[in-house]
Amino acid sequence: MAAMSNDFLEMHWMVTMIHHIDVGLVVLDKDYRVQVWNGFMKNHSGLTPDQVRNREIFRLFPDIPERWFRQKLDSARLLKNRSFTTWEQRPYVFRFQNYRPITGSSAFMYQNMTVCPLESIKGEIDHIALIIYDVTDEAVNKIEQKLANARLEEISRTDSITQLFNRGHWEERLRHEFARMQRSKQPSTLVMIDIDHFKAVNDQYGHVAGDEVIREVARRLKRTKRNVDIAGRFGGEEFSILLLDTQPDQALYFAERLRKAVAKTPIEFEDHAISVTVSIGISQNHPEINSPLAWVERADAALYESKKNGRNQVTFSPDGMHMDG
């Protein structure tokens, strides 16, 4: 009698513990019907054990991907081994709301899951236990860290005034694209742009106005280029842009559009309307151009010609118009 009493007490403690532990515990039979549903699952789902018992899990939670879930459980049943799913593979199994104040930025609870095959005394796997862990704190912290790293990386390659690529990152992209073009033999164009008489703008209106002129020219450059083009602030009032897979006539069309877009409308700063123009030099890639630096120098020489001949104009480098295939 005493032994039975102890066994009963031990079972009572076990059941109490299962219902109060801070992880979810679900037991499913072979037909995926719920047999055990502890307090954690009740509290977060709003469904009591009586409401879910003997009901198929896919009917209770239609957003569980049935094929993935069956494969996961069938594999554990067949191999008689535990298996695991992390929030990085799938953010959650059961979509529960997140109520934690610290990690309130997440609308749902991130979860890890352990799948445990339960062997009967006959050695058969008739049931599967699922252990659900709330890992929202860990997941949110890791996601925020990744976002912070991505922001830092973005800052490290972006010019603070124009939000174009800074010179270091632009030159890195140029080297990469130059190597690609050496293999593909596709025509591409490098364009150098310089704001005319920029020193006079600084002298007359001040450096803050000068920064706004640089910023606005960059905005017009962004509006004129395509998404695939690689634009950067080369330094001071000079910009550079790589027009990928672009024929000479297309590059000239782009450069003329940009030149007119800058010259047409004065830049507003405080009570001033500042009129500026840009000079532009273009160089097509060519077999004789054997390095990214040589390509920049040719475009820069064309830019110099635009300056020398009166500014506010576009000059194409006299080198070959495009690379022969």
Q: Would you state the pLDDT for residue 100?
A: 67
Q: Would you state the pLDDT for residue 124?
A: 87
Q: Would you state the pLDDT for residue 73?
A: 94
Q: How far is CA 74 from the centre of its chain?
A: 35
Q: Would you state the pLDDT for residue 323?
A: 35
Low-confidence ranges of the chain (pLDDT < 70): 1-4, 100-105, 319-325
Would you state the structure tokens that stand for residue 10, as one six-digit string? 């031990």
CA Rg value for the chain: 33
Q: Would you state the pLDDT for residue 99?
A: 73
pTM, two decimals, is 0.68
- Catalytic residue numbers, as ranges: 237
CA distance linking residue 204 with residue 281, whole number of Å: 27
Instruction: Write down how long the chain is.
Output: 325
Q: Which residues on adjacent β-strands are paired with residue 82?
A: none
